[in-house]
Amino acid sequence: MRRFLNIRTYLVVFAVVIAGLALFYFTHIVEEMETEERKKVELVVEAIETLGNDQLSSGGSNVTFISKIIDGNTSIPLIVVDEDRQEIISYVNFDEDKVAGRKNYVENKLQLFKEQGHFIPVTSGGLNQMVYYGDSHILADLRYYPFILIAIIFVFIFILYIVISNIQRNIQHQLWVGMSKETAHQLGTPLMSIVGWIEILKDTESNRPWLAEMEKDVTRLQLIADRFSKIGSVPNLEDEDLISHLQEMTDYMQKRAPAKVQITFGHDCRETHVMLSAPLFNWVIENLIRNALDAMEGKGAITITVKNEDRKVTIDVTDTGKGIPKSQWQRIFTPGFSTKKRGWGLGLSLAKRIIEEYHEGELFVKHSELGKGTTFRIVLRR
């Protein structure tokens, strides 16, 4: 898990560094291109000014050369405006289809160039004019390219993060399944032997009172083995009465709870039928009650309540224990995390997996307050 968290951190840092470098590099390139394009516009403006003022002493070749300079600009959009009359004199390098199809297209572009501060004054033929210019198509595209590149990088990192998360989840799942099935297998052999010995001991009449209790414990161990064997495989959900199962678990745990702990079960209906895997669901309830008992340290109260709604059933398990800090409400369901000195941190993780993956419900901390207690909520959909 620690390795997974480190990989996730490295991915985020890598994405930020690459994005920062890309943004810095392309920003520098854009600034250089802006400078170069302004120089080109200044050259065109100088040519326009020279032609208008008729300052050339020899006509043909120089005029032709200057005309080539003006005509050579095929990428930078220009708008020439008469500053005295505020009229558009001419414009070049605009998409003619957009000019023809959109009303006031050139006027809107002129306003944009003014807002960007892209203009150069020119005096041509005694007239005060202003040449406004915009970005070439290449420069305009290049402005958005770093953001597109950054988006691609983050999408790639996100996909990689999802893949790593799924791999991690699959490894965890396989670990759970292997451990659970091995535990069930290891329990099975001694249980069969114990059952055989109990049958032999039944031949002696004086042993019968003790054997009844031993059979209960063996039955319990068989149930535990059955629960472990179901982890990793898709359990069969059957229409079960939720109330009877909760009442059974309440009675069972009350007999095994300290004398100063009272476990009560409250409900507003006789029967509530939901789809359950009874062995696994009972395991979840037992786990929540055992955690509550540990949190109360020998005295207090545990209350189990059921609320029936049209599309779901909610089960609250509330204790008067020491409570859970809010910062740990999510972490307590993480495999390996435990607030107990000798805890393995597996119980709540398994409980959440059973409810959410097998029963398609929810298990979460509804409320907890330090020194006052905790409420876990289970939501089962009808």
Q: Flag whether 117 is in a domain.
A: yes
Per-residue three-class SS string for 200-269: HHCCCHHHHHHHHHHHHHHHHHHHHHHHHHHCCCCCCCEEEEHHHHHHHHHHHHHHHCCCEEEEEEECCC
Our count of domains for the chain comes to: 3
Summarised one tens digit per residue, pLDDT across range 25-63 is: 878 888 888 888 888 877 777 776 666 555 444 444 455
Distance between CA 286 and CA 246 in Å, rounded?
A: 10
Q: Which amino acid is at 336?
A: G
Residue 292, burial from CB neighbour count under 10 angstroms (0-12, 13-18, 19+): buried
Instruction: Mark whether 202 and 267 lie in a shared domain.
Output: no
Residue 341, burial from CB neighbour count under 10 angstroms (0-12, 13-18, 19+): exposed
> Helices 278-296 and 242-256, interaxial angle, to 10°?
40
- Using the 3D structure, point to which of 118, 134, 150 is the last residue of a domain: 134
Which own/partner contact pairs does 365-371 have at CB distance under 8 Å and 24+ positions apart? Answer: 365/324, 365/329, 365/332, 366/316, 368/323, 368/324, 368/325, 368/326, 368/329, 369/323, 370/322, 370/323, 370/324, 370/325, 371/322, 371/323
Query: Sign of the CA dihedral 223, 228, 233, 237?
Result: positive
Q: Flag whether 226 is in a domain.
A: no
Q: Flag whether 41 is in a domain.
A: yes
- Give the residues across from 80 on adjacent strands: 90, 131
Instruction: Mark whether 198 and 254 lie in a shared domain.
Output: no
Instruction: List all residues 6 or more positions away from 281 whose beta carbon is below 8 Å from its beta carbon.
Output: 240, 245, 354, 359
Q: How many CB atoms lie within 10 A of CB 351?
A: 23
DSSP code of 354? I
Instruction: Mark whether 203 and 301 lie in a shared domain.
Output: no
- Using the 3D structure, point to which of 92, 112, 134 is the last residue of a domain: 134
Cα 86 from chain centre: 55
Q: How many CB atoms lie within 10 A of CB 376?
A: 25
* pLDDT score, position 375: 96
Instruction: Mark whether 119 and 146 lie in a shared domain.
Output: no
Instruction: Mark whether 370 and 241 lie in a shared domain.
Output: yes
* pLDDT score, position 61: 46
Distance between CA 374 and CA 319 in Å, rounded?
A: 6
* pLDDT score, position 58: 46
- Give the residues across from 129 on adjacent strands: 82, 122
Token code pair at residue 122: 């020119």
Q: Flag whether 165 is in a domain.
A: yes
Distance between CA 274 and CA 242 in Å, rounded?
A: 7
Instruction: Mark whether 284 and 185 lie in a shared domain.
Output: no
Q: How many CB atoms lie within 10 A of CB 373?
A: 22
Token code pair at residue 76: 């930078």
* pLDDT score, position 13: 79
Q: Flag whether 318 is in a domain.
A: yes
pTM of the full structure = 0.51
Q: What is the CATH number of the domain that holds 298?
A: 3.30.565.10
- Using the 3D structure, point to which of 109, 134, 159 is the last residue of a domain: 134
Cβ-contact 136, 34 below 8 angstroms: no
Q: Flag whether 119 is in a domain.
A: yes
Q: Flag whether 25 is in a domain.
A: yes
Q: Flag whether 57 is in a domain.
A: yes
Instruction: Mark whether 208 and 250 lie in a shared domain.
Output: no
Distance between CA 40 and CA 86 in Å, rounded?
A: 24
Is beta strand 260-266 parallel, antiparallel or unpaired with respect to 273-276?
unpaired
Instruction: Mark whether 110 and 197 lie in a shared domain.
Output: no
Instruction: Mark whether 128 and 47 lie in a shared domain.
Output: yes
Q: Domain limits at 184?
A: 142-219
Instruction: Mark whether 113 and 174 lie in a shared domain.
Output: no
Instruction: Mark whether 34 and 67 lie in a shared domain.
Output: yes
Q: Which residues of the chain have pLDDT under 70?
A: 1-8, 48-73, 84-85, 124-127, 171-191, 193, 205-209, 213, 227-234, 335-346
- Give the residues across from 239 on adjacent strands: 275
Instruction: Mark whether 19 and 49 lie in a shared domain.
Output: yes
